[in-house]
Chains A and B, each alone.
Chain A
Amino acid sequence: MEKRISNKSQEIQNLNKKDVESPNHADANKKDKIVERRQTAREADKPDTTLDKFFIEVALVTLFTLRFFKEVFRPRFEVNETLKQSFLMGYASLPLVAITGFIIGLVLTIQTRPTLAGLGAESWLPAMVAVSIIREIGPVITALIFAGKVGSGIGAELASMNVTQQIDAMKVSGTNPFKFLVVTRILAATLMLPLLVIFADMVGLLGSFVGCNLEGNVSTQLFFVQIIESLDFEDLVPAVIKTFFFGFAVGLVGCYKGYNSDKGTEGVGQAANSAVVFASLMVFVIDMIAVQITSMLQS
C-alpha cells in the first residue's frame, strides 16, 4: 500500500517535473521532429516547400476539374438543383451587377469626357465608352463582383457542409455529393455569368447615356446608333465567350476551396476568403489569355 502511495507520489513528482521541464523538452522534440521530417522528406522526395505545395495544389485542381467533366456528362442530372443554383447565382445577383454596371458606365463616361474634349473628339464619347464596356470592363467587373458574391458563397457553404460532415453524410446515404454540390454549382456559375455580363453591358451603356447627357446633349437614337456603328463582332463575341471561362473559374475555385476545406470553423472562413482571392486572380489571368488569343486571331 505504502509502496503504491510512494509510487503514486513519485509519478506525481515526475509529472510535476515533466510539467516544469516540458516547454524546453517539447521544443527540443519538435525541432528534432522537424529535422527528421525534412530529412525524410528529402530522402523520399516528399513535399514540404511552398513550391511543392503549389504543384500539389495544381495537380489536385486539375484532378478536380477532370472529375467535374467526368461527372457532368454522366446521368443522372441534378436538374432541379442546377436551376436552383442558377436562380441564386444569376437572378439574385442581378441587382448588384446592375448597380455596378450602371455606375461603371456613368463614371467611365464622365472620366473620359475631359480627355476626349481636349482632343476635340467629344462626339466619339459613346463609341469609346461602348467599346471599353463591351470588350473589357463589363465582363471583368461583373466577373469580379460575381467572384465576390458567388465564389465566396460557394466556398463558405461547401466548407461549412464539410465541417459539419454533411458531405460525408451524403456519401453514406448514397447521394453523390460531388455531383449534387459541385457539378450543379460550377454549371450554374458557368452559364449565369455570361447572362449577367450582358445585363451589365446593357445597364452600363444606359449609365453611359446618362453620363453623356449630364454635360452634353445626345439624343437616345444618336447615342445607340453611334454605339452600334462602333461595335463589331470582334468586340462582342470574344467578350461574351470569355465570360463562360470566368464563370467556370469562379465556380470551380469556390467549389474546390469549399470541398477541400480544413476541418473546423476556421476552415470555413479560410475557404470563403481564398475562394474570392483565387477566383478574382483567375479572372484576370483568363482575361489576359483571352485578349492574347483574340488579338492573335484578329491579326
Chain B
Amino acid sequence: MKRYIGSKIRLGLFISIGIAAFIIGIYLIGQRQNLFRSTFRISGVFRDVAGLQAGNMVRLSGVNVGTVDIVSIVSDTSVNVQLVIDERARKFIRKDAIISIGSEGLMGNKLLIITPGTGNKKLIEDGNIVQTNQPVNLDDVFLSLKTTIDNTSKIISNLSLIAASVQSGHGTIGRLIMDQSLAQNIDSTIVNLRQGSDGFKFLVDDVTEGFAQINIKDILLSLKTTMDNTSRITGDLALLVRHVQSGEGTIGKLLTDDSLSLNIDSTVIYLKEGTQSFKTLMDRSQESWLMWGSKKKTNE
C-alpha cells in the first residue's frame, strides 16, 4: 500500500512537472509575441510588402517592440499591415512616425522598422494609421546598379582616352600638365602680376590718402554757391524769354513780327535783281575797250 501511494506521488510529480513545462513554454513564446502584455495597434498601407508575414518582428531603434499581426491585401496596389506594439514603447512613437520594411541580413526574415517621428508632434494612439516607406526592391537595386555600371564603364573608357591625350600633351590640360614652358610663363606672369599689384597698392594708398585730405564740408559749401548762381541765372533767363515772347527788343521782333520777315524777303528779292543787273553791267564792261587790259590779264 505504501509503495502504491509512493507511485501515485511520483506520477503526480511527473504530470505536474510536464504540464508546468508546457505552460512555461507557452508563456515564454507568448511573451515574445506580446500576448500577455498591454499592447496597442497601429497600421500602415504598403504597395508591396516584399514577403512580410504575420509574426515578423517590429523594431524601434533596433529593439524588438512588437510583431506584425495581420497582412491583408486591400486592393491590387495596396497591402494593409497591422502591428501590435508594446504599450511601453508608445511614449517614443509620434504621430508622424514612418514604418518601413527591412530584413535581418541578406537571407533573414523581413521585419518592420519604425522611425519615431519628430518631437513636437503628439504621441501615437491606438488604431492610428501611419505613413509608410516603400521597401527597396532588390531587383530594382540590381537594375539601377546595372545602368550605373554601364555608365561607369563608358565614363571610364572616356577617362582613359582623356588621360592618354593628356599624357601626350594635347589640349589645354595636357599642356598645362605636360608643358614646362607654360609653367614658366605662368611663373613670370605671376611675378609681373605681383609687381603690378604692388604698384596698384601704392596707387590705392595715395588715392585713399588724397580722399582723406579733402574736406567734404567745403565741397558741399561750394556746391551750394554754384547751385545758388545757377538758380539766379535761370531766373534771368526766364525773364529774357518772356521779353522775347512778347516781341520786345530786336530778337523779339525777329522771332515774333511777321512784317520784318516780309521786309527781309522783299529786300532779298531786290538784292537778287540788283546783283543780276550788276552782273550784266560787269559783262558788258568787260567786252568794252576800256577794260581790254584787265580782260587779257584774266585770260592768262
Q: Are A199 and B18 in contact (CB under 8 A)?
A: yes
Q: Are B32 and A228 closer than 8 Å at their CB atoms? A: yes
User: CA of A202 to CA of B15 in the docked complex: distance in angstroms?
Assistant: 14
Map CB proximity to A onto B1-22 as digits: 1 under 8 Å, 0 otherwise: 0001001101100110111011
Closest to A235 in B: B29
On whether the beta carbons of A91 and B10 are closer than 8 Å, the reply is yes
- From residue A106, how far is it (CB to closest CB) to chain B in Å? 19
Query: Considering only CB atoms, which chain B residue lies closest to A199 in the complex?
Result: B18
* Interface segment, one of A60-68, A80-88, A177-185: A80-88
The answer to whether A91 and B29 touch across the interface, beta carbons within 8 angstroms, is no
What is the CA–CA distance of A236 and B26 in the complex, to the nearest angstrom? 8
How many pairs of residues, A versus B, come closer than 8 Å at their CB atoms? 51
CB distance A195 to B29 under 8 Å?
Answer: no
User: Please, which residues of chain A bring their CB within 8 A of the CB of B28?
Assistant: 228
> What band does the interface of chain A fall in when counting residues whose beta carbon is under 8 Å from B?
20 to 34
Bound Cα distance from A212 to B32, whole angstroms: 23
Contact B32–A229 (Cβ < 8 Å): yes
**Contact A87-B11, Cβ < 8 Å, known A195-B19, A199-B21, A202-B21:** yes
Cα distance A281–B156 when bound, in Å? 68
B55 within 8 A of A: yes
The CA of A236 and the CA of B14, in the complex, are separated in Å by 20
Expressed in whole angstroms, the Cα–Cα distance for A94 and B11 within the complex equals 11
Q: A231 near B: Cβ within 8 Å?
A: yes
A236 touches B29 (CB 8 A): yes
Quick one: given A228-B28, A228-B32, are A195 and B15 in contact (CB under 8 Å)?
A: yes
Say whether B25 faces chain A, with CB atoms less than 8 Å apart: yes
With contacts A195-B18, A195-B19, A198-B21 taken as known, whether A84 is within 8 angstroms of B32 at the C-beta atoms is no
**Contact between A232 and B10, CB atoms less than 8 A apart:** no
Across the two chains, which residue of chain A brings its CB closest to B26?
A236
**When each residue 95-122 of chain B gets 1 if its CB lies under 8 Å from chain A and 0 otherwise, what string results?**
0000000000001000000000000000
Pick from B8, B14, B19, B55: contact of A232, CB below 8 A. B55
| Known interface pairs A84-B4, A232-B55, A233-B33; 5 further A-B residue pairs with C-beta atoms within 8 A, sorted by A's residue number | A86-B15, A87-B7, A87-B10, A121-B107, A236-B29
**A-B pairs with lowest CB-CB distance, top 8:** A195-B18, A87-B11, A91-B14, A228-B28, A87-B7, A198-B18, A198-B22, A198-B21
